[in-house]
Amino acid sequence: MDIPATDLAAAVTAHDKLLKALIGLLAVKDRHLLDDLRAIFAMVDDAHPGATPAEARTWAQVRRDLDIIGEMVAGDDEEPPADRPAH
């Protein structure tokens, strides 16, 4: 299936959001998932210390995304305000 160039940015953004949601859902069910992913990416980083600047930016973005997902998942443990029922 070919995606027109005009729709490529929307497709990439949609995939990014879907993958983050999936990782978040899995992380809620497995509290070690994000730590395991960080460990895997750290091994890749260690195996290729001469990464290009573009690769280094990509891995930095992966780490930021995992941190954001971790914050979202951790927020799930918080008690809801008294005027809002738990979900």
Q: Mean pLDDT for each 10-residue chunk of the chain (87 residues)?
A: 77 93 95 93 76 82 93 72 52
CB-hemisphere CA count at 13 Å for 13? 5
Cα separation, 39 vs 12, whole angstroms: 25
Specify the pLDDT at position 83: 58
pTM: 0.69
Return the domain boundaries, the chain. 31-74
Specify the pLDDT at position 50: 74
